[in-house]
Structure 1
Amino acid sequence: MYKRIFRSVCLTAFAVFIASLALIMGMLYQYFDGQLKEEIRTEANYLAHAVNISGEEYLTELSPGDKRITLIGADGTVLYDSESDPDTMDNHSQRDEVIAARKYGLGESVRYSDTLTEKTVYCAVRLDSGDILRVSDVQASTFTVLLSFAQPIFVVIIAVLILSAFAASRVSAGIVRPLNQMDLDSPSPVLEGYDELSPLFRRIEHQRATIEHQLEDAVKMREEFRMITENMSEGFLVIDRATNLLTYNTSALRLLGVKEGEVGRSVLELNRSEEFRGAIDEALAGGHAQRHMTIGGRTYSLIANPVHEGEEVIGAVIVLLDITEQEQREQLRREFTANVSHELKTPLTSISGFAELMKTGTVPQEDVVDFSARIYDEASRLIALVGDIIKLSELDEGGSFASAAEDVDLRALCEEIRDRLSPAAQARAVTFSVTGEEVRLHTSRKMLEEIIYNLCDNAVKYNRVGGKAEAVISRSEDQKVMLKIRDTGIGIPDEDQQRVFERFYRVDKSHSREIGGTGLGLSIVKHGAAALGIEIRLESREGVGTSVTLTFPPELIV
């Protein structure tokens, strides 16, 4: 504090002195500069008056002085000069002061020497004869004046610095002395002459009482940190720069497959895989590291970041995330993309082939209708496939193709779907019936209709010729509404029942293509039911039939 006050006082005094000196020098220079110009202007006017009366001979009779006198003709020719031979001088018609005097009667200008150490002040007056009388004088520039005063100014600056240092030392010592003598264990609320520091003294007095509370808070925060990290599903490890384990949570041990008693001093004892060691080495080298590693059939993301103290790395923080489900979803996405490409390619290839044959004109006229029908069928299949893909994409993105919730008569909706499927059912001689009580639901009619339609459509498509399909509405013992759609069709093998809701998965691919299925119907059912909160249960026996039960949550029942 003493040094800061000392420097502040010295710098303030020195800055005030320099500013005052510069201001005074500037004002004096401007004053004398104005005096010189006024003096030259007055002398030029007097001489012009005398020359107008006595002629050029007046100038030759003047005794040499400190100012230069020049007589310039109307055409700029120098007629007389008090210092140089007029015959050796250039034409002056383009000099600024001559041009101004010729135009206004009086002209002034200032020109600096090449070294900028001095300047010449000119004043020109137009005579009655049209000639120009010019008077000039040389004046030292500001820089030259300052140089001439350099030595006394330097002496004064040294003296001012010494006096400022002495005064600053005394003032600083006087300000700091009472503060140094203050008893911090029991500071006085008010120190004489230091009323502004009263809040500080009160805070110092209060600080001692709050230190214990702060220590208690620190212990509490450490306990809270431990509780947070212990309840994290992610693994958390902190190490020093020697890889010694400073802290960790139980999730880290669980993810790494290590028991509590097996924890050693070094974190490298927890896992010796190349990915784990490489991430730690990179973090301790000052970089951000992220690796994927597999432990016990599950995939984990390992993130390691350095801990800095200034420019030095003193340790690292390591986080372990279980990304198994994310990786599985990514795998499903890749499979979905491949399946979409394949499913789109098949009808497009057929359409392209038939169209190419028709384009060549080699197709008999009686086959054109058949080719056109095949193109139409493949195009319809393509449109249905694209429509199902769009619906699934909307469901995956968190939105839906559904409309706003409204009251829906479940039985009436089932009967409407039955009537829509009637032509397909009649074509396969399938008997389709709707039974059960009337129930009203408050949900998205469009999405619910899509779910039930896909299930009923499958009950007809995958039924045997002359089989039966029915939609039965009932209530369970706990008053939940259930819709069971069952058929007497080909059934689903046990090993395929867990996968039928996957996109593009078909139990019998040849049969599915024959009846025009896209392989996305049950995927739409699954995602749509999840969006509405409907539970799905599938039961099937190969060669006997399939039953799908939809259980509606109580909040949907009106």
Structure 2
Amino acid sequence: MTGKIVRSLFFLAMLVLAAGACLFSGILYGYYEKQSFASLSQEAEQLSQSMAYIAPDKLRSADRITLIDTDGTVLYDSVANASDMDNHLDRQEVAQAIKSGTGQSSHYSSTVLQKNLYYALRLENGTVLRLSRVQSSLGAMLLNMAGPIIATVAGLLLLAAGLSVRLAQQITKPINAISTDDPQDIYPELQPLTQRLRQQKATIGKQMDELSRRMREFSAMTENMSEGFLLVDMRGHILTENRSAATLMPVEADNIARCPEQQLRQAAQQALSGQRCERLLQRGERTLSIMASPVLASGQVTGAVVLTMDVTEREQREKLRREFSANVSHELKTPLTSISGFAELMSQGLVPPEKVKEFSSDICRECARLTSLVEDIIDLSRLDEGGEGMEWEEVELYSLCTSVLQSLEQVARKQKVMLHLEGVEKTVHGVRQVLHEMVYNLCDNAIKYNRTGGSVSVRVEGCGRGCRICVADTGIGIPYDHQSRVFERFYRVDKSHSRAIGGTGLGLSIVKHAAALHGAQIDLQSQPGAGTTITVTFPEQ
């Protein structure tokens, strides 16, 4: 800005200087010409008076003297031969003098850069006395004064440059000192600028506050996301990442190309090419879902957003669902095949009369097994739905256990297993039918997988502010490597033994879901050959 002001002021000074010089020269030259004509007029008056006593050729003057007759004939010239000169009647100054008594004119010669001044005076006898004087033209006068003029102009230009610099600094110094934090009105002319600066400062302040608020919200949202969040530009540089996504990247990595996970790199590259993609990434026992989408601005891809979600539980549920479907199909097919086979033999009369009762008993047994399996599947389905529509009430556990053991007395007597109940009365808020199924399955398994002459002990007791039910048996126990899976659907430690005793493989799975419905914890302790103890602990009501 200072340079522009200096140039503008310097150019203005040069323009003013040139205009002043031209005006001064013109005025000075005009004044000089006027004085020359006055001098010629005075000299002509003096010479006209002298001619009464002196002949024209005796007159002495620094100017050229010419005497012209009334008809324009040159009578005398102090420089040239009068007889050789043209008639001067048409000369401007001569014609004016004959008419009005005096006349003057000037003639410029471009060849010699000179100007001739002529003054004519009509004498008493009618003749005209003309004086002429050579005067340098303005150009010649300036040319003769070139040295002083150049020196003067150079000095004035230096002075103008210095003054321009100083004046520019004086103008710009207060402007440069304007604070953007608190702009003041330095000059009245700058008031619109300072007012706009204040308005823009207020606007920018509001925008910065809004941006900071949104950044805090964005950071709070992304940092507390369980999902990984990555924002990358077109060159793959990571612009933003949260803690969850940082676990997928090396600490020093600033580009998606340095990610060790090939699936993540490929997903990001596909999104940067403008295509949305989803991939699954397996990391040990965890399964991550990668979703990458392009970021568009004015229809152009400017980056990509990559989200990673832990879908281990979902994948496990899907796996269990597939296994459950396969197991259900198998478990339903087995009794149906037996029933169909027995019925077909009997319908075709291929069963001897003495075997009909045996075949009928087999059909009844398979139907009971099928019914039990269907009921267990229904119970599991209801529990999977969160017990929707079930009636919740206060349930007293000791009397509930008494009712369960009474319903299993015949089975226990057949297995020669003793049943014992001890403890105190404890009440929980729950679904009576679900709690009954839970205790029934625990006790039924304890009887089925017991040894002849063994026992099943059920104990109801308090624990802190909650309560628990313990079912202990003296049965065959569960091998250590199977204990973590016995609550899975259709999982059996010994499939042949389970089928022999009529188990469906869903009893402990129902126990697990029933406990989860009531917020209870299950603890399993078992030693092969020494029995099993399963404890269900209910939280504080």
Deviation at 1:369, TM superposition (A): 1.1
The answer to whether the aligner puts 1:214 opposite 2:202 as a matched pair is no
Deviation at 1:272, TM superposition (A): 5.4
The answer to whether the aligner puts 1:224 opposite 2:213 as a matched pair is no
Alignment of 1:73-112 (within 5 A): none
> Structure 2 vs 1, CA of residues 518 and 358 (structure 1 numbering), >3 Å: closer, same or farther?
same
Cα distance in 1 for residues equivalent to 2:506 and 2:333: 16
> Structure 2 vs 1, CA of residues 487 and 238 (structure 1 numbering), >3 Å: closer, same or farther?
same
> Structure 2 vs 1, CA of residues 272 and 448 (structure 1 numbering), >3 Å: closer, same or farther?
closer
> Structure 2 vs 1, CA of residues 462 and 296 (structure 1 numbering), >3 Å: closer, same or farther?
closer
SS at match of 2:505: coil
- Which residue among 481, 503, 506 is the counterpart of 1:520? 506
Which residue of structure 1 aligns with residue 351 of structure 2? 363
SS at match of 2:453: coil
Q: Deviations over 1:128-177 (max 9, x none)?
A: xxxxxxxxxxxxxxxxxxxxxxxxxxxxxxxxxxxxxxxxxxxxxxxxxx
2:450 touches 2:474 (CA, 8 Å); kept in 1? Answer: yes
2:387 touches 2:517 (CA, 8 Å); kept in 1? Answer: no
The answer to whether the aligner puts 1:289 opposite 2:277 as a matched pair is yes
Which residue of structure 2 aligns with residue 301 of structure 1? 289
The answer to whether the aligner puts 1:540 opposite 2:526 as a matched pair is yes
Deviation at 1:208, TM superposition (A): 5.1
- Which residue among 410, 414, 433 is the counterpart of 1:446? 433
Deviation at 1:296, TM superposition (A): 4.0
Alignment of 1:229-244 (within 5 A): 229-244=222-237
- Which residue among 241, 250, 259 is the counterpart of 1:259? 250
Deviation at 1:509, TM superposition (A): 1.1
Deviation at 1:368, TM superposition (A): 0.9
Deviation at 1:416, TM superposition (A): 1.0
Deviation at 1:231, TM superposition (A): 2.5
> Structure 2 vs 1, CA of residues 503 and 307 (structure 1 numbering), >3 Å: closer, same or farther?
same
One-letter code of the match for 1:420? S
Cα distance in 2 for residues equivalent to 1:383 and 1:496: 27
2:250 touches 2:259 (CA, 8 Å); kept in 1? Answer: no
The answer to whether the aligner puts 1:271 opposite 2:272 as a matched pair is no
> Structure 2 vs 1, CA of residues 418 and 296 (structure 1 numbering), >3 Å: closer, same or farther?
closer
Q: Deviations over 1:209-253 (max 9, x none)?
A: 343132123123223323332222211111112222222223212
Normalised by the length of structure 1, the TM-score is 0.60
One-letter code of the match for 1:242? R
SS at match of 2:487: coil
Deviation at 1:361, TM superposition (A): 0.6
SS at match of 1:554: coil
Q: Deviations over 1:316-342 (max 9, x none)?
A: 111111222221221111111111111
The answer to whether the aligner puts 1:425 opposite 2:412 as a matched pair is yes
1:534 touches 1:552 (CA, 8 Å); kept in 2? Answer: yes
Cα distance in 1 for residues equivalent to 2:512 and 2:500: 24
Which residue of structure 2 aligns with residue 326 of structure 1? 314
Cα distance in 2 for residues equivalent to 1:447 and 1:314: 56
Which piece of structure 1 moves more, 205-214 or 354-363? 205-214
The answer to whether the aligner puts 1:436 opposite 2:429 as a matched pair is no
SS at match of 1:369: helix
Between the aligned residues of both structures, percent identity stands at: 50
- Which residue among 366, 372, 389 is the counterpart of 1:378? 366
One-letter code of the match for 2:424? E
Number of equivalences? 352
> Structure 2 vs 1, CA of residues 212 and 292 (structure 1 numbering), >3 Å: closer, same or farther?
same
SS at match of 2:267: helix
Which residue of structure 1 aligns with residue 468 of structure 2? 482
> Structure 2 vs 1, CA of residues 251 and 479 (structure 1 numbering), >3 Å: closer, same or farther?
closer
Which residue of structure 2 aligns with residue 552 of structure 1? 538
Cα distance in 2 for residues equivalent to 1:516 and 1:281: 56
Cα distance in 2 for residues equivalent to 1:399 and 1:417: 21
Cα distance in 1 for residues equivalent to 2:403 and 2:219: 60
One-letter code of the match for 2:241? Y
- Which residue among 491, 497, 500 is the counterpart of 1:505? 491
- Which residue among 294, 297, 310 is the counterpart of 2:298? 310
Q: Deviations over 1:346-401 (max 9, x none)?
A: 1111111111111111111111111111011101101110111111112223335x
One-letter code of the match for 1:259? P
Q: Deviations over 1:473-527 (max 9, x none)?
A: 1223x24322111111111111111111111111111111111111001000000
Cα distance in 1 for residues equivalent to 2:201 and 2:527: 80
Cα distance in 1 for residues equivalent to 2:390 and 2:219: 47
Cα distance in 2 for residues equivalent to 1:533 and 1:341: 31
Cα distance in 1 for residues equivalent to 2:470 and 2:397: 12
Which residue of structure 1 aligns with residue 102 of structure 2? none
SS at match of 2:235: coil
> Structure 2 vs 1, CA of residues 533 and 350 (structure 1 numbering), >3 Å: closer, same or farther?
same
Deviation at 1:447, TM superposition (A): 0.9
Cα distance in 2 for residues equivalent to 1:386 and 1:217: 61
- Which residue among 487, 493, 503 is the counterpart of 2:479? 493
Normalised by the length of structure 2, the TM-score is 0.62
2:259 touches 2:265 (CA, 8 Å); kept in 1? Answer: no
One-letter code of the match for 2:414? A
Larger Rg: 2
Cα distance in 2 for residues equivalent to 1:277 and 1:208: 43
1:403 touches 1:445 (CA, 8 Å); kept in 2? Answer: no
- Which residue among 452, 456, 481 is the counterpart of 2:443? 456
Aligned CA RMSD, in angstroms, stands at 2.2
2:256 touches 2:265 (CA, 8 Å); kept in 1? Answer: no
One-letter code of the match for 2:235? A
> Structure 2 vs 1, CA of residues 272 and 530 (structure 1 numbering), >3 Å: closer, same or farther?
closer
**Which ranges of structure 1 fall in alignment gaps of 5 or more residues?**
1-181, 188-203
